[in-house]
Amino acid sequence: MTHSPAPTGPASTGPVPFGTRLRHAMDERGPLCVGIDPHGSLLTSWGLTDDLAGLERFSRTVVEALADRVAVLKPQSAFFERFGSRGVAVLETTVAEARAAGALVLMDAKRGDIGSTMAAYADTFLAPGAPLFSDALTVSPYLGYGSLSPAVDLARASGTGLFVLALTSNPEGAEVQHALRADGRNIGATMLARLARENAAEVAAGAALGSFGAVVGATLGDLSSYDLAIGGPLLAPGIGAQGATPADLPKVFGAAVRQVVPNVSRGVLRHGPDTAALRGAAERFADEVRDAVAAV
Q: Is 267 exposed, middle or buried (CB count within 10 Å of its CB: 0-12, 13-18, 19+)?
A: buried
Q: How many CB atoms lie within 10 A of CB 285?
A: 24
Q: Which of 3, 110, 270, 290 is catalytic?
A: 110
CA–CA distance from 103 to each of 27, 64, 83, 140 (Å)? 13, 11, 25, 24
110 is catalytic: yes
Q: Which residues are catalytic?
A: 110
